[in-house]
Amino acid sequence: MALEKDSGDAWSHTVPAGSWPVRYHPKARVEADGIPEQESKAIDNAVDKLASLGPSLPFPHSSKVMGEPGGSLRELRPRAGRSPWRCIYQRIGDVFVIGAVGPEAQRDKAGFNSAVSAAKTRIAEIEP
């Protein structure tokens, strides 16, 4: 699966020119589309912050996924961590790829772990 996709497909999130590209794995896009509207807007705002600040997006908006060897997986934390949802993502080159969207770990540890596992598998499918 190639990373280079046009802005009109399931991979894309519209970001301003000069920003860091953020892409959704198609299955993560489906997961994000299933989130309630209010929380979906919070996710969009968090993704906009990631696109704007890239790797300098600070905690509490972004955090390493604990227990992940190498620390390459991160969680995007909408509403500065107050949202019950997380986007699990990784930087590949100059692109941030959201591999899964799932529940926040303290509310649903099994659901969070499942999202992390799915993100690892999905991101591993991507050709840089």
**Residue boundaries of the structural domains of the chain:** 23-124
Quick: pLDDT tens for 80-112: 999 999 999 999 999 999 999 999 999 999 999
- 33: amino acid identity, one letter: D
Give which of 37, 15, 23 is closest to 95, Cα–Cα.
23
The domain made up of 23-124 is a member of CATH 3.30.750.24: no
Higher pLDDT, 13 or 46: 46
What pLDDT is attached to residue 6? 43
- Per DSSP, 42 falls in state H
pLDDT of 18 over the 80 cut = no
Cis peptide before 60 (omega within 30 of 0): yes
C-beta of residue 88 within 8 angstroms of C-beta of residue 65: yes
